[in-house]
């Protein structure tokens, strides 16, 4: 695999543990798992049903004409084309955050590509692909005097209450004053009216802010790394589907297609 692929796939011991959990943990209670479509059935049907986000720029959102676009939309369409041989062999189903796992678990869709972070607890219910993007906490600001983390010492930073980003900020910017908020909207409001000088949250969301509101910019340092993966059903009967999805994503990484799409959509590498 070339250097570009090696850079994309670089991981730390935490990622190794997580990957092991994702690939090796099987749910002990098979009776509670609904029977999603297996690959032969999907092939007979002629299209994939994929749960996506339609309100999360730049992963999945509607443009001015109401058409879905974004990194995850590109990935869903590419997977459908490569697995089924037709460029339009996919039905995209918008889904709320709280339903991203259940729609796969309960047989409503074949896959979910909807900004889902792979975790060991979630892997007890569903399977995850190899990561297609490494998300993580970043800091956004519109203050022209802030260029790096050290500039935030003794400054106020908004952060979502009880999120893992709180501990990351305490580690990287120990002298900052943290201001808890309950939502991204509240965080932007405090940043916009200069109550805080910056807001720390997920790169996949804040990248969209920068695109919509050019007065904002991301600081260069990622505070954490979290793998975003395709959600797939558990069970040996879905092995072909999981294998083909994983092989396809590995190919997209190796050939540079995913990295090009990440850059195209303005996401932080």
Note the pLDDT tens digit of each residue in 47-59: 999 999 999 999 9
Q: What is the mean pLDDT of the chain?
A: 88
Name the range with the highest mean pLDDT among 30-34, 41-45, 247-251.
Answer: 247-251
Predicted pLDDT at 248: 98
Predicted pLDDT at 227: 96
Q: What distance in Å separates the CA atoms of residue 263 and residue 29, rounded to the nearest whole number?
A: 41
Nearest to 133 by CA among 258, 6, 42, 29: 258
Predicted pLDDT at 194: 96
The token duo for 55 is 């309100």
DSSP state of 123: G
Give the mean model confidence (pLDDT) for residues 155-159. Answer: 98
Side-chain half-sphere exposure of 96, counting CA atoms within 13 A: 2
The model's confidence at residue 13, banded by pLDDT at 50, 70 and 90, is very low
Is the pLDDT at 19 greater than 70? The verdict is no
Is the pLDDT at 166 greater than 80? The verdict is yes
Give the mean model confidence (pLDDT) for residues 156-179. Answer: 96
Q: What distance in Å separates the CA atoms of residue 206 and residue 214, rounded to the nearest whole number?
A: 12
Q: Are 206 and 115 in contact (CB under 8 A)?
A: no
Give the mean model confidence (pLDDT) for residues 92-120. Answer: 95
The model's confidence at residue 37, banded by pLDDT at 50, 70 and 90, is confident
The model's confidence at residue 36, banded by pLDDT at 50, 70 and 90, is low
**Contacts of residue 106, Cβ cutoff 8 Å, sequence gap at least 6:** 34
Q: What is the pLDDT of residues 247-256, one digit of tens each?
A: 999 999 999 9
The model's confidence at residue 42, banded by pLDDT at 50, 70 and 90, is very high
The position carrying tokens 């200069």 is 194
The model's confidence at residue 89, banded by pLDDT at 50, 70 and 90, is very high
Strand 226-228 relative to strand 55-56, pairing: unpaired
Compare 228 and 27 and report the one with higher pLDDT. Answer: 228
Between the alpha carbon of residue 216 and those of residues 40, 139, 179, 187, 233, the distances in Å are 47, 10, 19, 13, 39
The model's confidence at residue 107, banded by pLDDT at 50, 70 and 90, is confident
Q: Are 206 and 54 in contact (CB under 8 A)?
A: no
The token duo for 216 is 């904002």
Give the mean model confidence (pLDDT) for residues 254-266. Answer: 96
């Amino acid at each position: 695999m070339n250097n570009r692929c090696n850079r994309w796939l670089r991981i730390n011991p935490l990622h190794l543990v997580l990957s092991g959990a994702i690939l090796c943990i099987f749910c002990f209670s098979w009776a509670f798992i609904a029977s999603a479509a297996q690959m032969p059935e999907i092939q007979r049907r002629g299209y994939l049903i994929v749960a996506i986000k339609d309100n999360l720029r730049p992963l999945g959102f509607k443009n001015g004409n109401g058409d879905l676009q974004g990194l995850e939309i590109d990935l869903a369409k590419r997977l459908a084309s490569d697995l089924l041989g037709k460029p339009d062999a996919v039905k995209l189903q918008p889904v709320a955050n709280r339903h991203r796992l259940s729609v796969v678990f309960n047989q409503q869709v074949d896959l979910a590509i909807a900004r889902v972070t792979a975790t060991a607890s979630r892997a007890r219910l569903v399977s995850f692909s190899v990561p297609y993007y490494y998300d993580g906490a970043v800091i956004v600001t519109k203050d022209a005097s802030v260029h790096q983390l050290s500039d935030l010492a003794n400054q106020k930073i908004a952060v979502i209450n009880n999120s893992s980003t709180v501990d990351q900020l305490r580690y990287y910017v120990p002298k900052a004053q943290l201001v808890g908020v309950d939502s991204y909207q509240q965080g932007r409001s405090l940043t916009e009216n200069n109550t805080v000088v910056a807001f720390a949250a997920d790169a996949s969301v804040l990248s969209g802010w920068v695109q919509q509101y050019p007065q904002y910019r991301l600081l260069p340092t990622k505070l954490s790394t979290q793998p975003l993966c395709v959600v797939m059903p558990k069970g040996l009967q879905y092995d072909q589907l999981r294998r083909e999805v994983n092989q396809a994503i590995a190919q997209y990484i190796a050939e540079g297609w995913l990295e090009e799409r990440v850059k195209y959509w303005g996401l932080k590498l």
